[in-house]
């Protein structure tokens, strides 16, 4: 969009006009748009109300018009509060910064729970390595791991969807960016559970590779004993850690939501008590 087109939109919004559809601008175009708006407004800095919605930001100039402006990123997937530092007066609603990526999520889980993860891995590895289960027993173990993973994922998704419906109606959680964080955590935990199922399938195939089994036998050779014990222990550890993550995460989420609600009620009560005493 060229400067003449931007200037026309600026003049219409400054005069209070409301177009039939939102104005869609790239972030760079909005910077020029905002500079034109200040010039048109006699160098008076306007107030902007912005709502972050994933890969877009919706905003209006509430002092002038209800006209909705959609801001899209230039070359990256999402934009956040820091991209609008050139706007001095902005009432930002929603996530202010990007949530953790899946890689960072995994790294943080390992860092925080390294003792528990190590203990589960070593126990499962020791049992598998010492007992040297046959291929039939390993097939049974992998089958149980797949069943446990899929049942867990199904229940988890049902629970997440039902809880998300209730959370999505909480306006304050959205405005503070807490809802965005919750959804991001749900996505990472779901991805981790799906990855666990996928690795279990791969582990089931590894068990039957000719490299790891003895000829004319249902037992593993020395290499297979080490490899399969390690891979099965990794899957076992991932599955149990997923259980622990969900337990800790949802208890923390429930506590966080309850404390936020109580905090709001306490502040409101204190404010009203103070006002009633002044009267």
Q: Which of 93, 117, 143 is the last residue of a domain?
A: 93
Residue 21 and residue 155 in one domain: no
Q: Which two tokens stand for residue 208?
A: 């039957």
For residue 65, the enclosing domain spans: 3-93
Residue 114 and residue 185 in one domain: yes
User: In total, how many domains does the chain have?
Assistant: 2
Residue 254 and residue 128 in one domain: yes
Distances (CA, A) of 154 to 23, 160, 185, 190, 227: 41, 10, 17, 10, 30
DSSP code of residue 176: T
Residue 216: which pLDDT band, with cuts at 50, 70 and 90? low
Residue 217 and residue 269 in one domain: yes
153-167, 181-195, 196-210: least confidently modelled range: 153-167
- Asked if the model's pLDDT at residue 261 lies above 80, the reply is no
Q: Which two tokens stand for residue 167?
A: 């959370």
Tell me if 92 sits within 8 A of 65, measured CB to CB. Answer: no
Residue 125 and residue 221 in one domain: yes
What are the pLDDT digits (tens) for 102-115? Answer: 888 889 888 988 99
Q: Is the pTM of this model over 0.85?
A: no
Q: How many CB atoms lie within 10 A of CB 10?
A: 22
Residue 278: which pLDDT band, with cuts at 50, 70 and 90? low
Q: Across residues 70-74, what is the average pLDDT?
A: 88
Count, residues in the chain:
279
Residue 68 and residue 121 in one domain: no
């Amino acid at each position: 969009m060229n400067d003449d087109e931007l200037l026309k939109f600026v003049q219409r919004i400054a005069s209070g006009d409301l177009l039939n559809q939102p104005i869609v601008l790239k972030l760079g175009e909005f910077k020029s748009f905002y500079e034109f708006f200040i010039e048109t407004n006699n160098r008076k800095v306007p107030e902007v109300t912005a709502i972050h919605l994933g890969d877009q930001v919706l905003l209006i100039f509430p002092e002038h018009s209800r006209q909705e402006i959609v801001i899209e990123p230039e070359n990256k997937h999402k934009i956040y509060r820091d991209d609008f530092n050139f706007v001095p007066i902005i009432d930002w609603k929603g996530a202010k910064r990007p949530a953790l990526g899946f890689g960072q999520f995994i790294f943080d889980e390992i860092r925080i729970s390294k003792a528990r993860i190590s203990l589960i891995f070593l126990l499962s590895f020791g049992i598998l390595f010492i007992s040297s289960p046959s291929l039939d027993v390993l097939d049974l173990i992998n089958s149980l791991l797949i069943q446990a993973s899929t049942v867990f994922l199904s229940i988890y998704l049902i629970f997440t969807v039902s809880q998300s419906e209730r959370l999505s109606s909480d306006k304050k959680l959205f405005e503070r960016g807490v809802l965005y964080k919750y959804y991001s955590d749900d996505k990472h935990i779901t991805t981790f559970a799906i990855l666990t199922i996928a690795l279990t399938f791969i582990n089931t195939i590894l068990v039957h590779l000719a490299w790891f089994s003895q000829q004319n036998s249902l037992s593993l050779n020395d290499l297979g004993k080490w490899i399969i014990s390690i891979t099965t222990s990794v899957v076992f550890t991932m599955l149990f850690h997923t259980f622990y993550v969900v337990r800790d995460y949802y208890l923390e989420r429930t506590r966080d939501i309850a404390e936020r609600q109580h905090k709001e009620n306490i502040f409101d009560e204190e404010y009203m008590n103070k006002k009633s005493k002044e009267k």
